[in-house]
């Protein structure tokens, strides 16, 4: 058994790991896009192409659908990969939207190419529930099964446990339990349950993007946000928050709902929240659809009749069509 890293090696984006089971079989974990500083000085071909041999890849396992983990998927399909793409049910629901957006922004606006790519993706996509072993078919007598465990990072995110039993003649290789962390959420982050450590592992491949940082506690963070809002109200101002459309936006909405629900004065309780992103609006709908994946605190608030991601003073911009103003002559 061997692990090759095709991304997130010199930096933190472009996650792509290949678990070599034997000469005939390998599994790919994520196939992400290089972003930010890691793209400078490198041409498109260099960044997007699948530069490694995929002839032995039997399946792609997806930890979660952030673009730095799935963005090179269309190029993997274009390179001829036609095996299963395995992900949790929520990730499988979000993935076509993420890939559609990635194609539109970075590759083409040609609808027929986009449609063809999405059709291929949906054909190969297999959604599996959390915490259940799923057998991945390999060539010859090697066997492998995978299990997705909640990672608490974004909706559908998982760390992946892989049980590998290679058929290597004349070798005494025994079963190995390998864990790929994907991105892990912090404990006590809003909405999603904190991840639980795996029971065992022989090998762990762990992402450590913020490994050298101490995050501010959640309660302090919410307090800072409330202070900013109060200051803006007293200034008759507006607060603009740039946020990722999957994960961060929904966490912010969750905290804003709590701030407005517990507000001690009317202006704060009635503050209007506008999510100006059709993408984020779509993802927020999916967050609501998968309420079973929310943590105990969020479920309790729902039981109390609160609309956590759809509160009264929240406005979602779900299309930018028809809102463009032509300059006057
Ligand atoms: Zn991520």
Measured between alpha carbons, how far is 251 from 257 in angstroms, rounded to an integer? 10
Q: Domain 218-316 maps to which CATH number in 3.30.365.10, 3.20.20.10, 3.40.50.10890, 3.40.640.10?
A: 3.40.50.10890
When pLDDT is cut at 50, 70 and 90, the band that residue 127 belongs to is: very high
Q: Residue 74 belongs to what H/E stretch?
A: helix 73-78
Q: Does residue 42 surpass a pLDDT of 90?
A: no
3-state secondary structure at position 146: strand
**What is the per-residue pLDDT for 217?**
87
Domain with CATH 3.40.50.10890 in the chain: 218-316
Contacts of 17 (CB under 8 A, 6+ apart): 3, 4, 5, 6, 7, 8, 28, 29, 30, 180, 205
187 C-alpha vs ligand 1 centroid, how far in Å?
A: 15
Q: Residue 199 carries which DSSP code?
A: S
172 C-alpha vs ligand 1 centroid, how far in Å?
A: 37
Burial class for 135, CB neighbours closer than 10 Å (0-12, 13-18, 19+): exposed
**Of the candidates 100, 151, 156, the residue with the CA atom closest to the CA atom of residue 128:** 156
Architecture of domain 2-205: 4-Layer Sandwich (3.60)
Measured between alpha carbons, how far is 236 from 215 in angstroms, rounded to an integer? 31
64 C-alpha vs ligand 1 centroid, how far in Å?
A: 7
153 C-alpha vs ligand 1 centroid, how far in Å?
A: 7
Percentage above 90 pLDDT, the chain: 68
When pLDDT is cut at 50, 70 and 90, the band that residue 210 belongs to is: confident
- Tens digits of residue pLDDT in 285-304: 999 999 999 999 999 999 99
When pLDDT is cut at 50, 70 and 90, the band that residue 38 belongs to is: low
15 C-alpha vs ligand 1 centroid, how far in Å?
A: 10
């Amino acid at each position: 058994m061997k692990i090759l890293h095709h991304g997130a090696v010199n930096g933190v984006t472009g996650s792509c790991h290949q678990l070599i089971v034997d000469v005939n079989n390998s599994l790919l974990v994520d196939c992400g896009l290089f972003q930010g500083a890691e793209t400078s000085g490198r041409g498109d071909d260099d960044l997007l192409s699948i530069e490694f041999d995929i002839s032995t890849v039997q399946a792609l396992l997806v930890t979660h659908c952030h673009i730095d983990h799935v963005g090179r998927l269309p190029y993997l399909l274009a390179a001829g990969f036609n095996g299963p793409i395995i992900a949790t049910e929520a990730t499988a629901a979000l993935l076509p939207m993420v890939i559609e957006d990635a194609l539109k922004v970075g590759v083409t606006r040609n609808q027929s190419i986009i449609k063809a790519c999405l059709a291929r993706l949906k054909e190969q996509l297999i959604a599996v529930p959390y915490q259940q072993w799923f057998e991945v078919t390999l060539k010859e007598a090697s066997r492998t099964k995978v299990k997705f465990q909640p990672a608490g990072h974004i909706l559908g995110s998982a760390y992946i446990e892989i049980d590998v039993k290679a058929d290597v003649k004349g070798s005494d290789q025994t079963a190995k339990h390998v864990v790929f962390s994907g991105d892990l959420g912090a404990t006590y982050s809003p909405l999603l349950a904190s991840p639980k450590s795996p029971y065992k592992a022989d090998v762990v491949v762990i992402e450590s993007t913020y490994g050298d940082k101490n995050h501010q506690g959640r309660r302090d963070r919410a307090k800072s946000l409330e202070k900013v809002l109060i200051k803006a109200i007293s200034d008759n101002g507006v607060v603009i928050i740039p946020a990722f459309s999957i994960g961060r936006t929904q966490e912010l909405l969750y905290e804003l709902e709590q701030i407005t629900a517990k507000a001690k004065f009317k202006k704060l309780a009635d503050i209007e929240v506008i999510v100006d992103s059709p993408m984020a609006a779509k993802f927020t709908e999916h967050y609501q659809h998968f309420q079973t994946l929310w943590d105990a605190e969020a479920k309790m608030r729902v039981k109390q009749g609160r609309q956590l991601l759809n509160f009264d003073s929240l406005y979602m911009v779900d299309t930018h069509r028809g809102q463009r103003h032509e300059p006057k002559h």
